Amino acid sequence: MKLYRSILFVPGNRAEWIDKAPKYKPDALIIDLEDAVPIAEKAEARPIVRAGIERSHKRGMPTVVRVNGVDTGLTSDDIEAIVVPGLVAVAVPKLEKREEILKVDAWLEHYERKAGLPIGSVEIVAIPETAKGLMNAYELISACERMGNIVGGVGARSGDVTKAIGYRWTRNGFETLYLASHVLLAARAAGIEYPLAAGSLEVSDLELVRAQLQRVREIGYRGSLLIHPSAIAIANEIFAPSKEEIEWNKGVMRAMDEAERAGKAAVTYDGMMVDYAHVRNALDLLQQAESFGLEVGEYPKVKAL
């Protein structure tokens, strides 16, 4: 999955909210058919979600849909209703084992064929929310080629993961640091370049939201699901390269350009020895900044294998 800094949740039974959400400028939407939709309205919400995906696609807004968990008996019908152009991925909650992923993979292939979409065009985002699912994070994310991402990161005062693990929530998040790091390492080991944080459930304490998102960025998460529009600007800032990072990495490129001209492959820059490994990091960061429309400016185009 490409890098989305901010993916905003929208209830699947609220067509007007789906249409309103892009104005807040998230990188993508995640329309919810699971916990944000009353049980009695789940079937009625499916055509609303399908139409919302189609309208969002015309506006250039990528869409993920959180379907109901495999053990509910609703997942296949959810997928049948929503596989249309513009659907980037399905996010599947409460996953615990590889076999559940393979069921979702098979359903997606079947309905992609019926919709005339390329096979594999819709990715899977795993949302492990039980102790077993979290423990099996690597098994989940490496289950099939369709796996696009996994969600970990921010802990909440209450919810599925809180209940499953039994931790006592604190503002500094120490109690969920291991869980966040475990899922992150599993994602990276499976080749997921931009793992997603679960995001903050806080809506009235933006300082806490910022602290939570900053913390997961520092350990390696690259984007976040978001429950409220007020967090979008914060996430877009935190998960994008800062001006200081851009300038520092441009400096790496300039230093290595000078080193090459002198017939060297390593040089001291800002008190640190840098070589082609740092060129690869710098290029990745600068290209990301450019993709977000940030001002980068000129820098030497040093190549690295």
pLDDT digits (tens, 9 = 90+) for 258-284: 999 999 999 999 999 999 999 999 999
Same domain, 27 and 120: yes
Q: How many folded domains does the chain comprise?
A: 2
What would the two tokens of residue 177 be?
């640091």
Residue pLDDT, tens place only, 160-211: 899 999 999 999 999 999 999 999 999 999 999 999 999 888 889 999 999 9
Q: Are residues 145 and 120 in contact, defined by beta-carbon separation less than 8 angstroms?
A: yes
What would the two tokens of residue 267 be?
């040089």
Residues 63-71 have a mean pLDDT of 97
Same domain, 78 and 36: yes
CB atoms within 10 A of CB 4: 25
Same domain, 45 and 141: yes
Same domain, 83 and 142: yes
Same domain, 39 and 145: yes
Instruction: Residue 258: give the domain boundaries.
Output: 243-291
Same domain, 178 and 136: yes
Same domain, 206 and 66: yes
Residue 304: is its pLDDT beyond 90?
no
Residue 184 gets the label, from left (phi > 0), alpha (psi -120 to 50) or beta, of alpha
Q: How far apart are CA 264 and CA 73, in angstroms?
A: 62
Q: Are residues 24 and 229 in contact, defined by beta-carbon separation less than 8 angstroms?
A: yes
Same domain, 71 and 161: yes
Mean of the per-residue pLDDT values for the chain?
Answer: 95
Q: Are residues 234 and 197 in contact, defined by beta-carbon separation less than 8 angstroms?
A: no
CB atoms within 10 A of CB 221: 26
Q: Which residues have a Cβ under 8 Å from the Cβ of 106 and sit 6 or more positions away?
A: none
CB atoms within 10 A of CB 208: 13
Residue 305 belongs to a domain: no
Residue 96 belongs to a domain: yes
